[in-house]
Structure 1
Amino acid sequence: MITLLNDDFSALNEFLTEKSFSKIFILVDENTHDYCLPIVLGNLQTEIPMEILEVEAGEEMKNIQTANHLWEILTEMKADRKALLINLGGGVITDMGGFVASTYKRGIRFINIPTTLLSMCDASIGGKTGIDLMHYKNMVGTFCFPEQIFVFTDFLKTLPYKELRSGFAEMLKHGLIADQLHWEELIKIHKIDAESVFPYIKASMDIKEEIVKVDCYEKNVRKTLNFGHTIGHAIESLFLEKENPVLHGEAVAIGMICETYLSYLENLISEEDCQKVIDGIRKYYPDVDISDFTNSSIINLLLNDKKNTDNRINFSLLSGVGTSVFDHECMTENITATLDFYRKLSDF
């Protein structure tokens, strides 16, 4: 399913030649329109009619209004069920584009060409599509797998440092939950840039793909991929409410620090491992001021998390460096203590 593209995009051209698509629609935001679309168009070799769909960049655009706008455009352009949607962008584009494709006329085919480190290593893989509802992350969506994922790592050279660092959080997560060696190799990196992360991208993608193969629909082990995301999504949502968004990976880094400490409070990992993991994450991510958010406001969002059952907050936590557990119900006092720990750690 995952194909690395060389400079002539031959694998993508072969894919388009083999399939019988009536029309190609390429979904971009203004950033990928400027930096990535010219590269793709310059390498495509196809006679299939093509249209470009552009949306504004940003998590705040991943909503039902944007999805509805795209459905309307596809309808006006007479897209049929043999059409192909190419999602060219980061996590917002692959999440939303996959959702639009999976629901339009009960489903048209789509492929992902991720352009950020986050989407290469995480968002484009696994068949989760979705949009945000109010300020709740990915509350509406489907499980629908792309026909193929094509990765052109040179796109990373166009990214600002903060976007690379955001994606790096998901790579760290993959090591922490499933592969200690991957984690140890990553935290040896002195500076996050395209060249330093290139050698580890495929390994990170493979970790997620293997987990998804075992549990496509998140009934069991796939839930471990949510490590750092229960608290992380709540923090991300609260910043969206303040119209002062943090990048997804920045929120996940906060979540991983908190949920590592929570793993310790729940007697799942040793104090030594807890400290090593937290120090490793803080090496790359500055502390974020969450003092405006009360514990009750964060816990209220946790109660609405998609992973919960019977009004219980279920966490995916570490059981060691490179191993993890899922569906772990935590005591409320430990969740509160974890949030207080992060505030004291960041000392704002």
Structure 2
Amino acid sequence: MESISTKNAVVHFNSEVYTELNNYIKTKKPSKIFVLVDTNTHDYCLPKFLERLESDEIAVEVMEMPNGEEHKSIDICTGVWEALSEYNADRKSLLINLGGGVVTDLGGFVASTYMRGIPYINIPTSLLAMVDASVGGKTGVDLGALKNQVGVINEGQLVGVDTSFLDTLPQNEMVSGFAEMLKHGLIYDEAYWNTLTHLEKLDISDLDRLIYESIVIKNQVVTSDPKEQGLRKILNFGHTIGHAIESYFLENADKTPLLHGEAIAIGMILETYLSTKVCGLSNEHLAEITNGILKTFSKVEINKADQNHIIELLKYDKKNSHGVVKFVLLEAIGKPKLDCVISNDLILEAFDYYAN
């Protein structure tokens, strides 16, 4: 697959990942190389990665963090910053983030802030990170259960998408990443959406092509609006309510935490319903989108008490301004609309639609 140029970096695929990564190291000659992994990628991805890494006698240090969204925190950042300092990392050191979205988001933030910024490279190992978290330069961590409240936009030096790492993923993680691919179709390309909702016509050999297409869509959006002043906001479709649901399930001990994509799938159904009320989306498209998402994602019970708490969390959404919650909704598949204001009563209606 041909490499994709982003605004400040390049996304390389499969065998090209290691050719370009090793060329980068030979050319830039970092003072030290640090590889950030979590407990899962340490066991399942790191050995293969280190076999392909040519460090030219540059010292390589591995730093391991716990896996899971609950560890995407300032406390973990502090531990990584301290480890970098203890290992005498300087501004010419290189940080390689080998992992899913938690590792790439947190590692990118650590690199962007350590000594006011050191170079970093993302090697995403989950489907979610490949199609979403590793592209576009968004880095950051959660503030308690509130998603991505602290961070910066700063692209890495390159991105390496080696789809063979997907062989290490459990099924639920693959499904989680698929939500972002569905979103890319809904906000940008109806033909892509139609392909994704008819997977029975495809086989596993088509996966690389679909991942590539998702990255192309995301890159086209973020390249035109790198700082999220306008068009890039469309990538938040399903995320206004979805992030609130994810946060609520994460912070409540009596709930089973949802993976990011599981929460976003619910958010997309709810926000599709809202789209029929304020943007003129047809009921036919509502049914098509709902059924398309529920082909892959199981329903989750969200009772009335949960709904009110989730609505309360909407005030923390990063698209808000002047105390007003703003949604990205759909006028049609592939035609999003920005900055929609929705009443709480309509949101409760959307929850009723999802439940029934």
Shorter-chain TM-score category?
over 0.9
The alignment status of 1:326 with 2:338, answered yes or no, reads yes
Query: Alpha carbon RMSD of aligned pairs, Å?
Result: 1.5
Is the Cα–Cα contact under 8 Å of residues 116 and 156 in structure 1 kept in the other structure?
yes
What is the total number of aligned residue pairs between the two structures? 344
Report what 1:35 is aligned to: 44
Report what 1:271 is aligned to: 283
Report what 1:239 is aligned to: 249
**Structure 1, unpaired ranges of 5+:** none
Partner SS, residue 255 of structure 1: helix
Is the Cα–Cα contact under 8 Å of residues 17 and 160 in structure 2 kept in the other structure?
no
Report what 1:252 is aligned to: 264
Report what 1:12 is aligned to: 21
Report what 1:306 is aligned to: 318
**Residue among 198, 202, 214 paired with 1:204:** 214
Q: Which amino acid aligns with 2:114?
A: Y
Is the Cα–Cα contact under 8 Å of residues 279 and 330 in structure 2 kept in the other structure?
no
Q: Measure, in 1, the Cα distance between the counterparts of 2:201 and 2:119.
A: 38
**Residue among 147, 157, 163 paired with 1:147:** 157
Q: How does 1:109-124 map to 2 (within 5 A)?
A: 109-124=119-134
Is the Cα–Cα contact under 8 Å of residues 17 and 161 in structure 2 kept in the other structure?
no
CA drift of 1:296 comes to: 2.2
**Structure 2, unpaired ranges of 5+:** 1-9
Is the Cα–Cα contact under 8 Å of residues 188 and 217 in structure 2 kept in the other structure?
yes
Partner SS, residue 297 of structure 2: coil
Residues 225-267 of structure 1, C-alpha deviations (whole Å, 9 max, x = no match): 0001011001100111124311000000000011111101113
Is the Cα–Cα contact under 8 Å of residues 184 and 217 in structure 2 kept in the other structure?
yes
Q: Which amino acid aligns with 1:58?
A: G
Report what 1:82 is aligned to: 92
Residues 247-305 of structure 1, C-alpha deviations (whole Å, 9 max, x = no match): 00000000001111110111331111111111100111000112274332111100121
Partner SS, residue 258 of structure 2: coil
Is the Cα–Cα contact under 8 Å of residues 165 and 192 in structure 1 kept in the other structure?
no
Report what 1:160 is aligned to: 170
Q: Which amino acid aligns with 1:43?
A: R
Partner SS, residue 326 of structure 1: strand
Is the Cα–Cα contact under 8 Å of residues 164 and 192 in structure 1 kept in the other structure?
no
The alignment status of 1:132 with 2:142, answered yes or no, reads yes
Residues 55-106 of structure 1, C-alpha deviations (whole Å, 9 max, x = no match): 1100000011101111111111110000010000000000000011101110
Normalized against structure 1, the TM-score is what? 0.96
CA drift of 1:5 comes to: 2.6
Task: Decide whether aligned partners of structure 1 residues 193 and 166 sit closer, same or farther in structure 2, where only a CA change above 3 A counts.
Answer: farther
Range moving further from structure 2, 160-169 or 287-296: 287-296
Is the Cα–Cα contact under 8 Å of residues 122 and 156 in structure 2 kept in the other structure?
yes
Q: Measure, in 2, the Cα distance between the counterparts of 1:191 and 1:166.
A: 21
CA drift of 1:222 comes to: 0.3
Q: Which amino acid aligns with 2:288?
A: K
Q: Which amino acid aligns with 2:92?
A: K
Q: Measure, in 2, the Cα distance between the counterparts of 1:225 and 1:342.
A: 22
Residues 20-49 of structure 1, C-alpha deviations (whole Å, 9 max, x = no match): 211000000011111111111111122221
Partner SS, residue 298 of structure 2: coil
Task: Decide whether aligned partners of structure 1 residues 238 and 293 sit closer, same or farther in structure 2, where only a CA change above 3 A counts.
Answer: farther
The alignment status of 1:70 with 2:70, answered yes or no, reads no
Range moving further from structure 2, 38-47 or 112-121: 38-47
Q: Which amino acid aligns with 1:81?
A: R
Task: Decide whether aligned partners of structure 1 residues 322 and 147 sit closer, same or farther in structure 2, where only a CA change above 3 A counts.
Answer: same
Q: Which runs of 4+ in 1 moved over 6 A?
A: none
Q: Which amino acid aligns with 1:210?
A: Q
Partner SS, residue 285 of structure 1: coil
Q: Which amino acid aligns with 2:103?
A: I
Q: Measure, in 1, the Cα distance between the counterparts of 2:17 and 2:246.
A: 38
Q: Measure, in 2, the Cα distance between the counterparts of 1:107 and 1:35.
A: 29
Is the Cα–Cα contact under 8 Å of residues 161 and 193 in structure 1 kept in the other structure?
no
Task: Decide whether aligned partners of structure 1 residues 93 and 204 sit closer, same or farther in structure 2, where only a CA change above 3 A counts.
Answer: same
Q: Measure, in 2, the Cα distance between the counterparts of 1:180 and 1:321.
A: 6
Report what 1:227 is aligned to: 237
Report what 2:62 is aligned to: 52
Q: Measure, in 2, the Cα distance between the counterparts of 1:193 and 1:163.
A: 19
